[in-house]
Amino acid sequence: MQDKHQPGAGLPSAEGFFLRYMAAPPMFLLSPQATSTKRFQSFGQKFITISESMSADCLQQVVTTKRPFALEHSSTSWSVAMVLEHLLLVGDVINTVMEALVNDEPPQILVSTAAVKPTGQLEMPIEKFKSYVGDYVTFANGVDIANAKKVRHLHPWFGELSASQWHAFSWMHEWIHYRQVEKIMRQLPSGC
């Protein structure tokens, strides 16, 4: 049996079942391309605003929070900078998957939650995150995601997803980690 605190251990089984079969499907259905792009950009801007308001020391301060819904146990001792790093790592995966799917090609990447855990060593995470958000929005506005239906790609928690579902996942993932950042912010020392 895998230790629940190991990266990639996944979610508690009931929570994983709920997310995969009950919570995610309606969110995928209610997130057409333009809506997903706007939500992604909106959450991205919230991360940027919060991060830019923090000192470098506060941005890097690791705190341990109670495990939020939809996050692995291994993701509970992070800083705001680590959340940004994680979003960038996942963003690289989403970009690779989306670029292939919108061209009706199978992505040549294995998606793994263990592979996208932050190290806390990324320099200039705010600037890199700003570029990522802008580049992804430009990409999403420049392609017809809804018509890319021939090929799907496996997400470790949600199963085989279409390009449209991966696009919706991009903002849902940000939303989950935005809630995590709120918890981190509440536990930072005063002055942060």
Is 169 contained in some domain? Answer: yes
8 Å CB contact between 113 and 156: yes
- Number of domains composing the chain: 1
Is 2 contained in some domain? Answer: no
CATH number of the domain where residue 170 is located: 1.20.120.450
- How would you class 110 by CB atoms within 10 Å of its CB: exposed for 0-12, middle for 13-18, buried for 19 or more? exposed
The residue range of the domain holding 113 is 35-187
Residue 133: how many CA atoms within 13 Å on its side-chain side? 22
pLDDT at 2: 62
Is 4 contained in some domain? Answer: no
* pLDDT, tens digit (0-9, with 9 covering 90-100), for 117-139: 999 999 999 999 999 999 999 99
pLDDT at 188: 96
Is 61 contained in some domain? Answer: yes
Is 24 contained in some domain? Answer: no
The reported pTM is 0.94
pLDDT at 23: 93
CA-based torsion, 20, 174, 79, 180: positive or negative: negative
Is 15 contained in some domain? Answer: no
Residues of the chain with pLDDT under 50: 1
Is 138 contained in some domain? Answer: yes
pLDDT at 5: 67
Is 157 contained in some domain? Answer: yes
Among 89, 75, 74, residue whose Cα is nearest residue 184: 75
